[in-house]
Amino acid sequence: MAEKKSELSDKQEMALELVITGMTDREIAKRVGVSRQWVNTWRNQDAEFMYALQLRRQILREKHMDSVSQLIKISIDVMRAALKEGDPQTKLKTAMYVLKISGLKGFMKPGKPLSRQEMEKDQFKNAFDQAVREVTEELGIEKY
């Protein structure tokens, strides 16, 4: 079956790209040459625009998940090295952390299985939270 051609105008296509970058409706309107109300209408009432935006966000999420997956692999390699070559205190802390994030803590608790989407969301959230913690720690920020 042939894919349906987009019904979006050139201005809507431009607006889509700008929405993804995080611009406000006002900023998008100025760049595209329409009123802020038009941008708001596209975002909240135009089904074709909303669907196209949803698809682009999904593509962006998948792209970010690929990056996060690469970071997870690197992080696992770092933990493996710390367990093998670190001083006793580092080894213990690393081992405790690995056990904590492995899900063993929740292993004893019965519960309903997560859907694939829930698992991916949890994995992304956990990896993101850990990355933020590591960056804030590296920068010397006490809390985030």
Residue 35 lies in a domain: no
pTM, rounded to two decimals? 0.49
Residue 77 lies in a domain: yes
Residue 78 lies in a domain: yes
Q: Tokens 């019904």 appear where? A: 7
| pLDDT, tens digit, 9 for 90 and up, residues 14-30 | 999 999 999 999 999 99
User: Residue 123, Cβ neighbours under 10 Å: how many?
Assistant: 14
Residue 22 lies in a domain: no
Residue 99 lies in a domain: yes
What's the rounded Cα separation, in Å, for the pair 114 and 33? 45
| pLDDT, tens digit, 9 for 90 and up, residues 111-138 | 677 777 888 888 888 888 888 787 777 7
Query: What is the extent of the structural domain holding 68?
Result: 63-144
Instruction: Pick the closest to residue 98 from 119, 125, 72, 70 (CA basis).
Output: 72
